[in-house]
Amino acid sequence: MSTFWSIWIIVFTAITIVGCTWLLFANRKVEVSDDLKEGEAQKTGHVYDGIEEYDNPLPAWWFKMFLGTVVFGVIYLVLYPGLGNFGGVLGWTQVGQWEEEVAEAEAKYAPLYEQYSGTPVEELIANPEAMKMSRRLFNNNCAVCHGSDGRGSYGFPNLADNDWLYGGSAEDIKTTLVNGRQGAMPALGGALGEKGVDNVAEYVFKISGREHDAAKAEAGGQLFATYCAACHGPDGTGNKMLGAPNLTDGIWLYGGSPTLVRHSIRNGRNGNMPAQGDKLKAEKIHLLTAYVYSLSKNQ
Ligand code: HEC
Ligand code: HEC
């Protein structure tokens, strides 16, 4: 904050506190007028529907409480940040407190993490405490994309089934998490032409066991061998090295309607799983691996 605004805030805060205190004391005593009769109370002279207003000083408890808040405010502003750029004599900061809490949590959980990272994923999934911790990690880091139940949505794979783009062994999952994954389905609309896209889509429906146009699928089969088999495999069951999905299982990352499948072929798809290796410590990734592994094992 610039010095000007800092001083501005300090001056106005001081004026407000002094002003409130003055107001408090100014209203403490009531001047009793001379012509008040014995036993009669001082009134303000305001009358509403025959109801008159007493001119009494503030009740003592109220006055003291108000005074207490003023004293509290002054002490607070001396100890903690609040007056412009003045940081308070205690030197407390939000960042400082946060760092302290993080350090505390790390010290508290370090032995647990250490124990868990020494345990193979296949065993870890039987440990309810570890799974609870991993679930929290998943919710904080992964649920935005994969859903809080891990079931994914359009473009975000379901992690709770046994269908894997890149493989579902503990090792495969960990590789996915550490390095991330970049799906690369090229746009083939240009090479195939609209008729070719239509034919090859019918072929995809055929191999996934769906209703299809036999003549178009026949023509599409030729195209598939030429343009698609290198990645999706000659039989269309996919390739986990490339993350090319199995096209025969009826599970669709980008939707299985004729329009969406044609869109995938015509325009390509480029799903991106962001790498976690530089964001999360190895022991957290180990726990997350166990969590993802457990999702499909619990099916
Ligand atoms: C920004 C969104 C996003 C976040 C955050 C994200 N993912 Fe992903 N993840 C994806 C996408 C998109 C893919 C599919 C990549 C592709 O299409 O090739 C994917 C793929 C995966 C796969 C591979 C699935 C398979 O079938 O092989 C796993 C496992 C996975 N994510 C786990 C996680 C975990 C665990 C986290 C949290 C640490 C996480 N993801 C965070 C978007 C995300
Ligand atoms: C260079 C490798 C490559 C080639 C060639 C390729 N694909 Fe793909 N395809 C992929 C990858 C990788 C994905 C997944 C993209 C992602 O995860 O974002 C994919 C996704 C798809 C999808 C979406 C699947 C779903 O679950 O929603 C369809 C449909 C598809 N490809 C069909 C085809 C057809 C038909 C051809 C040939 C005309 C073809 N692909 C050629 C690699 C390829």
Render pLDDT for 263-273 as a digit per residue (tens, 0 to 9): 999 999 999 99
Summarised one tens digit per residue, pLDDT across range 82-91 is: 898 888 999 8
Q: What are phi and psi of 185, to 5 degrees?
A: -100, 115
Return the sign of the alpha-carbon dihedral for residues 16, 22, 23, 24. Answer: positive
Residue type, 139: N
Ligand 1 atom 5, closest CA: 142
Look at 200 and 105; give whichever has higher pLDDT. 200
Worst-scoring range by mean pLDDT, 52-61, 68-77, 138-147, 176-185?
Answer: 52-61
Ligand 1 atom 9, closest CA: 273
Residue type, 280: L
pLDDT at 299: 55
Summarised one tens digit per residue, pLDDT across range 109-118 is: 889 999 999 9
| Residue in the structure block whose two tokens are 């014995």 | 38
Ligand 2, from 232, 252, 261, 262: best to mutate by most atoms within 8 Å of Cβ? 232
Q: What are phi and psi of 283, to 5 degrees?
A: -70, -30
265 lines ligand 2 (CB under 6 A): yes
Kindly report the length of the chain.
299
Contacts within 8 Å (CB) and 24+ apart, 62-69: 63/24, 63/28, 66/20, 66/24, 67/21, 67/24
227 lines ligand 2 (CB under 6 A): yes
Name the pLDDT band for 44 (thresholds 50, 70, 90): confident
User: Quick check: 43 pLDDT over 90?
Assistant: no
User: Quick check: 133 pLDDT over 60?
Assistant: yes
The token duo for 203 is 């072929």
pLDDT at 55: 81
Mean pLDDT along residues 51-71:
89
Name the pLDDT band for 96 (thresholds 50, 70, 90): very high
Rounded to a whole number of angstroms, the CA Rg of the chain reads: 36
The token duo for 113 is 């993490």
Atom in ligand 1 nearest the alpha carbon of residue 270: 17
Distance 156 CA to ligand 1 centre (A): 7
pLDDT at 1: 79
Ligand 2 atom 43, closest CA: 185
CB-side exposure of 130: number of CA atoms within 13 Å? 29
Task: Please state, in angstroms and as integers, the Cα–Cα distance from residue 86 to each residue in 13, 23, 82, 162, following that order.
Answer: 13, 27, 7, 59
Q: Which ligand is nearest to the CA of 189?
A: 2
294 in Cβ contact with 233 (< 8 Å): no
Name the pLDDT band for 50 (thresholds 50, 70, 90): confident
